[in-house]
Structure 1
Amino acid sequence: MALERWGDLLPLTERTIGLLRAARQDPEPHRSSLSKALDSRGIALAALGRPHDAVGLFREAVLLSRQLVEEQPDHLDVLLHDLNRLNHLAQALHNVGQRSEAAEVTAEAVAAYRRPAAAAFPPERRAASLVAHAEALVLAGDHRALKVAEEAVQMCRDQATAAPVSGPAVSESEALLCPALGWYASALFREGMREAAIEAGEEALRRNRELSLDVASAALSLAWALVEGESAPRAIELAEEVLTLLGLEGADDRQGEVALAHEVIARAQLALDRAERALESALRSVDLHHPLAQAAPEVYASALAQSLGSYALALNATGRRPEAVTAAEEAVTVTRGRFTAEPMAYAFDLASVLIVRGRVEAGSPALGEAARIAERYGWHRHAEEARQLRRSAATASDRAGDTRDGS
């Protein structure tokens, strides 16, 4: 629907909502219509780039639909409408950076599919809700993401196996297995299980290629897991494929992935000791992330901070340490703002950029803070990395002192 038509819908829904509210001396007959009108207005506002205005409408629509479900738990249309409202609310919450609440809403949707009446729905709908919940949990920094993502992968596998073969057509379960594997790989990687994450990412990429689905996203996810060590050249190869698939600039809705592809290349080039090449790609990633974060800070601030961290590491590798410290400080400042609003959702990200700051700034207390935050929120790989870096820095300082004394 064109933006003009969404704009035309606003006065119509405003009038409808007003009439329904005015008729609520006896509200019972009007709750379903009011929920629908609120949801429609929220959809229009979200499409017009006003996600904050949409959230309140979706919340009220969900509240009304919950009441209707409790009163008519066996009514399929009522349950279906409730699930649609929950999906809209979860997406809107994600778009305003309220990751923890989004995960609560997707959990409610998963629970709704366990109601007896939901057995009448296609099984793929329940699998889709589980995949969405796994995604929300990963983004919310919730360690339950690993278990939910694993369950989603298994459910999609089971459904794909049970689905009748229908020629060249791709079953919905086969298609759902691809993002399920992707979020499973992400959860594994964040928990420090890199090899298992790579294995899941490889399968996700293979399946996306075979089914001609979202190869770019799958390749990018796998590339990020491969940036370290001997696998760095393949990470570069995959990231360059992403840039080819999306175009060097990418469509508006894929700009974030283009920016991340440049960052992957930068990180991999650093792993290969190609500092100047890394710096070029890291700067490109920052330049692409800045306008995205300005337009939608709740969605892209963390990605901007991550790219600034990579830029700081590249600057440091080329000997430009004062500039590296400045970039790392900006990364920490940006992430700390998000962490203050939602600590659990951004603890992983804050610990990551604090580690970067500790790497580029000798004597910085950042590593100690990174270890404390990571340990508190259960990101043990980050905590151990920060502690190891502190020990290495202390040993290097002691050796430098010994050298000075000896001279």
Structure 2
Amino acid sequence: MIWTCYANKSSLLTVPLLSCRWLAKQACDSLARNTVREIRHLKRADGPAAVLAIGTANPPNRLSQEEYVEYYFRVTKSQHLTDLKRKFKLICDRTATAKRFFHHTQELLDAHPRFFDGGQDRLEIAAAVAPELAASAATKAIAKWGRPATDITHLILSTNSCALSPGVDLRLASLLGLGSSVVRTLLQLTGCSGGSASLRLAKDIAENNCGARVLVACVELSVAALRGPEENYPHTLISQAIFSDGAGAVIVGADAVHPLERPLFEMVSASQTVIPDTDRVAVIKTGEGGIYHQLFMQELAPIATHNIERCISDELKQLGIDAQWNDLFWAVHPGVTALLDSIDLALMLDPGKLAASRTVLREYGNMLSATVIFVLDEQRRRMEEDGEEGVWGVMLGFGPGFTIETMVLHATTNLKQNHARM
């Protein structure tokens, strides 16, 4: 160590030079750290992220599940496959779906004679239509939100129908008139969990960026996976029997601007769990013939029900929330009715606890990532208009991986106040 001596008339003061430099550096580092902490604090929101508005949309072409059996074998020119047609009808009857919505019609398919020959027509159709359908749902959400679209700072778009870049998000931003500085995130081929994953990401963005307003949009078009029945490939029949078209949009933000903004559900915590050795039970992939779904439905339901109790318990425990399953309200991606039946049984839920999920499955079918937004909107309606009780709730999404998305929700007083005024 180097020592430097300073002398005056009364004393000799000895100071270690390197120690002085070390102290000065520590002081500068401390000032820098304080500044970074202050900046970080100023950039973050004070309160939790919340759902501020919800919008949904479907194409105009609606078919009952019974009508779809005939429609599907007619448009695919497969009416001679009578055995497969009987199997397909049995699958459709077990879905508990009454009707589904589709962009594709027989006229559209007839206009593309190579559609079922493995051409790229289906992907091009989906890419052209998806932005408009997403914009329809987003426009409704923005109108309910009450602020201009230009106030949106972030856009998250999820789709299993279009795997391309530039993607649907860019076209959607243009249709809505969003600013060029909007931060875009595109999630593709995340399966049914895409809606929940998008909302989890929106929560993180809103809480870590003061004043951020995040538009989540999920859009799905089954035309991208539409193909004829194959005798040696039963997964085709399953996917054709359950999936339908729709779009859902949610505005997410923290520190609501009162009275203009009206939070509906506070997004308290969110997590993702991947169950080991289950990556084969739900697969989505692209090919020359569009999007392919491979689903092992008999395995999916047991895997989900054997693991959701732990996922929910872990989430509630870390929050210090002591609640029975029947004390909660539920926004569960329905998938298929067998999944909801298994969850009911595993958690011993009271009748009607999964009513929002069952209603959406019956009235719209499985719209992949958009479905959970429809369920959340139906749960909002039941609490806002019908006076259904509930303070704490759980939203669940399921997807390839096998992945379970869990979010704890808190219903705001706005829902109850609105019902009281009616």
More strand by share: 2
Calculate the TM-score normalised by the size of structure 1: 0.25
Calculate the TM-score normalised by the size of structure 2: 0.24
Structure with larger RCO (C-alpha < 8 A, sep 6+): 2
Higher Cα radius of gyration? 2
